Structure 1
Amino acid sequence: MSGRRRPALVAVLVLMTATASVPFRPDVLPEVVRIAFAIEQRGIVYAWGGGHAEEPGPSKGTCLGYTGKIRPCPAARTLGLDCSGFTRWVYALAHGADVLGPGNTDDHVRKMRRVRTARPGDLVFFGKITKKRVKTHHVGIYLGDGKMINAPETGAVVRIDPIGRIRDFVGFYRL
């Protein structure tokens, strides 16, 4: 190998080694994931029914249908997001419009199509879906590597969790 090419090869190898150890960069991921990371950093609390006001975003929740462990139900006095309120807000910010609407996880999954190969930014649903019935109980935003950002439960904040933490995985869905 000539002496001229050797420094160039060394420079390429140094750059490859350096960039291989660079931490995960959310700025190169889809807009949905970047927005979800930004919201996760805010420490927004979970509120049953939160995020379902006329406009997407944190709102006071409701105790109607609440089955959480914390008693009395704190949702009506808590400004926050539930799982579908969180995904609704992120998708609205990313798409520039309220594409999921104010419904719950069952309503949202009906607006999407199931995909076999997930990409960061897809939604991850949990529950049971058959040809005759849709009954979901949780949704998060897929990050890759078996992880999602979600608003998990009363007493928690929007956070990153392994997908396997929630029972009844249904699949990955995309608009």
Structure 2
Amino acid sequence: MSGRRRLALVTVLVLVTATGAVPFRTNVLPEIVRIAFAIEKREIVYAWGGGHAEDPGPSKGTCLGYTGRIKPCPAADTRGLDCSGFTRWVYALAHGADVLGPGNTDDHVQKMRRVRIARPGDLVFFGKITKKRVKTHHVGIYLGDGKMINAPETGAVVRVDPIGRIRDFAGFYRL
């Protein structure tokens, strides 16, 4: 065997061995949907700011910035999830790491890329997104057929809703 062939063979073996040890998650979208439905069955309540503790998952919310219709603000005494806390937790479980981080919808959308054709498991954002400004206020996980699973509002649990329930659709995004 020539030196070049031997070098090529060794290179291929090294690459195959090295990449075999690295978790390779190319298509987590169906897993995202499965996890989202499993969480929906647990009937976790909405809590403004819930899901934004150090680790993803239900946590006590906050009344800082709360503008919900239920008064006084119940978030600080409620263990639950808000919309971005819900998507953060689902994506962390599907990817095996906190890929979205503790930020809000504005922070999360900036970590993703917009897609023209959505697939179940993509995120659907609401608000205004331009090249110069990001001002979102809601996010859900796209299910297909015009539906999303989301933590919608104070007083509700994680549930499936039509995307059209919220007026200012901003687009579909994929990690």
Q: TM-score range by the shorter chain?
A: 0.7 to 0.9
- Distance in 1, matches of 2:167 and 2:138, equals 9
Equivalent residue for 2:145?
Answer: 145
Could you say what secondary structure the match of 2:97 adopts?
A: coil
Equivalent residue for 1:60?
Answer: 60
CA deviation vs aligned residue, 1:25-77 (integer Å, no higher than 9, x gap): xxxx7000000000000000000000000000000000000000000000000
Matches within 5 A, 1:9-28: none
Equivalent residue for 1:133?
Answer: 133
- Distance in 2, matches of 1:150 and 1:56, equals 16
Could you say what secondary structure the match of 1:131 adopts?
A: coil
* Structure 1: stretches of 5+ with no match in the other structure: 1-28
Matches within 5 A, 1:74-85: 74-85=74-85
Could you say what secondary structure the match of 2:118 adopts?
A: coil
Q: How far has the Cα of 1:167 moved from its partner?
A: 1.5
CA deviation vs aligned residue, 1:106-130 (integer Å, no higher than 9, x gap): 0000000000000000000000011
- Distance in 2, matches of 1:62 and 1:160, equals 24
Alignment of 1:95 onto 2:92? no
CA deviation vs aligned residue, 1:137-163 (integer Å, no higher than 9, x gap): 000000000000000000000000000
- Distance in 1, matches of 2:167 and 2:56, equals 27
Equivalent residue for 1:156?
Answer: 156
What letter matches 2:112 in structure 1? M
- Distance in 1, matches of 2:131 and 2:161, equals 29
Equivalent residue for 2:122?
Answer: 122
**Normalised by the size of structure 2, how large is the TM-score?**
0.83
What letter matches 2:60 in structure 1? K
* Structure 2: stretches of 5+ with no match in the other structure: 1-28
Equivalent residue for 2:18?
Answer: none
Matches within 5 A, 1:35-50: 35-50=35-50
Q: How far has the Cα of 1:131 moved from its partner?
A: 1.2
Could you say what secondary structure the match of 2:102 adopts?
A: coil
Q: Percent identity?
A: 92
What letter matches 1:129 in structure 2? I
**Normalised by the size of structure 1, how large is the TM-score?**
0.83
- Distance in 2, matches of 1:130 and 1:75, equals 31
Could you say what secondary structure the match of 1:85 adopts?
A: helix
- Distance in 2, matches of 1:114 and 1:130, equals 11
Could you say what secondary structure the match of 1:170 adopts?
A: strand
- Distance in 2, matches of 1:62 and 1:167, equals 26
Structure 1 vs Structure 2 CA RMSD = 0.6
Could you say what secondary structure the match of 1:137 adopts?
A: strand
